[in-house]
């Protein structure tokens, strides 16, 4: 049996005893892929029963959903556009999850980020476009970061449950957005739909070359990659994983748990606020009630289906964006409301939450069993 000593003096043994650890590693990787995939299949099967109950064909519905979300270049571009805010909204859930926090109030950060960005953009009218877009991004991230960072502060310093506080604060944020849009920030010309002053065309974010998809998609992908590097390759990410596993152990090791919680929730909220800024600068052109489109809530589903892995969020956001984009075609072709896709998302979310109980249950790969067999 071969043995080496690492730099910190810990022996690493190669031989029969090393197989259980390798098998456990493979089992965990298999779980991370198989269980979410199985949850997706079960959720779609349950949704098929719902479609049968309303007198429609599940096969026809899924065919229509494919055509509406992925069946052509036009539909794929629509799916990618809808995936852009989902990438950032999902990070608002995934980053705090590394600390063991369940933050579901990203919708509030999105709407406040959008309002802050719109206010900054109209206030700086006449300033060079590059500076204005940069300031809008900073304003959106600051608004969202402060809002969700407050959730982390309440959790650490006052022991307020972050799930409840973030959800309640989302409703407060939407009410605050409505008050600002219908009050001091309202454009007098917006009669039927209260909105802020429209952004000048030079302050709008355009599409990527050769695509009808705005640059927010690239921003979201970069944010996911940066988040993965932060979590997996930096000491802050390592400290967050320790604190998420055992807060007392992290405190004993001298880690600043409070700073980690506030910092990670603030960054998470900043990403959601950036999603709101992109909706204003690339899609809406102004801040209005359309900012509360439900991206924050769909982002919860994306994050859980991706197992809070920032890289896995990218394909999952595209999948959910395609499902969301197919709602209009389902309504036209099958005489079903476009909210039908929300029913599917709800069923998927319930099944995914239930599937959490199956992680770690592959007993055949239990290292203790393998050690006893050797």
**What are 245-294's pLDDT values in tens digits?**
788 778 778 888 899 999 999 999 999 999 999 999 999 999 999 999 99
The pLDDT value given to residue 23? 66
3-state class of 288 per DSSP? strand
- Write down the pTM of the prediction: 0.88
Burial category of 59 from C-beta neighbours within 10 Å (exposed 0-12, middle 13-18, buried 19 and up): exposed
Angstrom distances, CA of residue 256 to CA of 41, 95, 239, 250, 267: 42, 17, 9, 8, 16
Q: What is the mean pLDDT of residues 84-94?
A: 98
Query: Residue 237: its pLDDT value, please?
Result: 93
Mean pLDDT, the chain, whole residue set: 89
pLDDT given at position 366:
52
Residue 9: what pLDDT? 43
Percent of the chain with pLDDT over 70: 89
**Are the C-beta atoms of 169 and 150 separated by less than 8 Å?**
yes
Please tell me the least confidently modeled range out of 16-20, 185-189, 333-337, 358-362. Answer: 16-20
Res 171: pLDDT: 97
Contact 167, 92 (CB under 8 A): no
Exposed/middle/buried for 23, CB within 10 Å: 0-12, 13-18, 19+? middle
Question: For residue 217, what are its two tokens?
Answer: 């998609």
- Contact between 173 and 151 under an 8 Å Cβ cutoff? The reply is no
pLDDT digits 0-9 by tens, 187-230: 999 888 899 999 999 999 999 999 999 999 999 999 999 999 99
pLDDT at 245: 79
pLDDT tens by residue, 40-68: 999 999 999 999 999 999 999 999 999 99
pLDDT value of residue 6 = 42
């Amino acid at each position: 049996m071969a043995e080496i000593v690492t730099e910190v003096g810990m022996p690493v043994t190669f031989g029969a005893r090393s197989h259980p650890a390798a098998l456990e590693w493979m089992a965990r990787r298999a779980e991370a892929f198989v269980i979410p995939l199985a949850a997706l299949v079960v959720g779609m099967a349950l949704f098929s029963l719902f479609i049968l109950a309303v007198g429609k064909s599940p096969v026809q519905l899924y065919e229509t959903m494919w055509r509406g979300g992925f069946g052509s270049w036009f539909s794929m571009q629509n799916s990618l556009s809808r995936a852009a805010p989902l990438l950032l909204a999902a990070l608002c859930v995934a980053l705090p999850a590394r600390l063991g926090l369940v933050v579901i109030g990203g919708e509030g950060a999105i709407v406040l980020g959008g309002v802050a960005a719109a206010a900054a953009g109209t206030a700086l009218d006449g300033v060079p476009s590059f500076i204005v877009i940069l300031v809008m991004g900073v304003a959106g991230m600051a608004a969202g970061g402060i809002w969700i960072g407050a959730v982390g502060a309440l959790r650490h310093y006052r022991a307020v449950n972050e799930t409840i506080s973030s959800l309640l604060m989302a409703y407060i944020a939407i009410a605050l957005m409505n008050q600002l849009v219908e009050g001091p920030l309202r454009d007098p010309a917006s009669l039927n739909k209260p909105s802020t002053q429209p952004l000048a065309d030079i302050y709008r974010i355009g599409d990527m070359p050769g695509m009808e998809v705005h640059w927010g998609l690239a921003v979201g992908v970069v944010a996911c990659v940066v988040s993965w590097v932060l979590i997996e390759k930096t000491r802050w990410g390592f400290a967050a994983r320790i604190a998420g596993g055992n807060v007392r152990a992290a405190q004993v090791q001298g880690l600043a748990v409070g700073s980690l919680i506030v910092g990670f929730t603030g960054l998470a909220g900043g990403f959601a606020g950036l999603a709101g800024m992109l909706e204003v600068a690339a899609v809406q052109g102004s801040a209005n009630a359309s900012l509360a489109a439900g991206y924050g809530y769909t982002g919860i589903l994306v994050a859980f289906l991706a197992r809070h892995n920032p890289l896995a969020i990218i394909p999952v956001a595209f999948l959910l964006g395609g499902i969301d984009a197919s709602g209009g075609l389902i309504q036209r072709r099958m005489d079903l409301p476009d909210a039908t896709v929300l029913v599917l998302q709800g069923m998927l979310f319930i099944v995914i939450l239930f599937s959490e109980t199956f992680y770690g249950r592959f007993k055949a790969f239990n290292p203790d069993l393998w050690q006893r067999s050797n």
